[in-house]
Amino acid sequence: MTSMKERMLAGEPYRAEGPEIEADLDRAARLAERFNTSPAADPAARLAALRDLLGSLGEDAWVRPPFHCDYGWQTHIGARTFVNFNAVFLDVARITIGADVQIGPNVQLLTATHPVEAAARRARWESAKPITVEDNAWLGGGVIVLPGVTVGANTVVGAGAVVTRDLPPNVVAVGNPARPVRALD
């Protein structure tokens, strides 16, 4: 029999229950609390908490608290990337953020999705699709990236945009849903 965690990791419908998932959620909550309450005067402790929480954190990358996630170990942040205040990374599926990415305040990366059918939602089924933000992208304040989306390298996503499908490299995209409005050199 396949566990709910195995179903989750395979991208299949699952329910966020069972000892493995509950332990992972509890672990992430404890580590996120440690990171979010670490004193600014002790950057080494703050960095250690973040490294314990995340799947990987590249050299000279930085996340400003508060930071919220489901699991932590599903999130991978590249070198020299900056994540501003109030980031919400629902990392039910893998979140991969490249190098030199800039993420504004209040950005949400949401891998989780739920069924449209009421009965399945009541039964607490959900699933997830990975999100990738490629190197040197910039997500402005309040951007929301939905499940299964890739934001291309060097792409700039304007503040408040909702990214519902892949964005190519080297564009400026704005709106809801986000659409490329300009090519970048």
The answer to whether 21 and 4 are in contact (CB under 8 A) is: yes
Q: Give me 67's structure tokens.
A: 């930071």
Angle 137-147-96 (CA atoms, 0-180°, nearest 5)?
45
Angle at the Cα of 65 (from 54 to 159), degrees rounded to 5? 100
Paired residues of 104 in beta bridges: none
* Active-site annotation holder among 30, 51, 114, 121: 114
The torsion angles phi and psi of 60, rounded to 5 degrees, stand at: 60, 20
145 and 164 Cβ atoms separated by less than 8 Å: no
Secondary structure (3-state) at 27:
helix
Catalytic: 114? yes
So which residues are the catalytic ones?
114
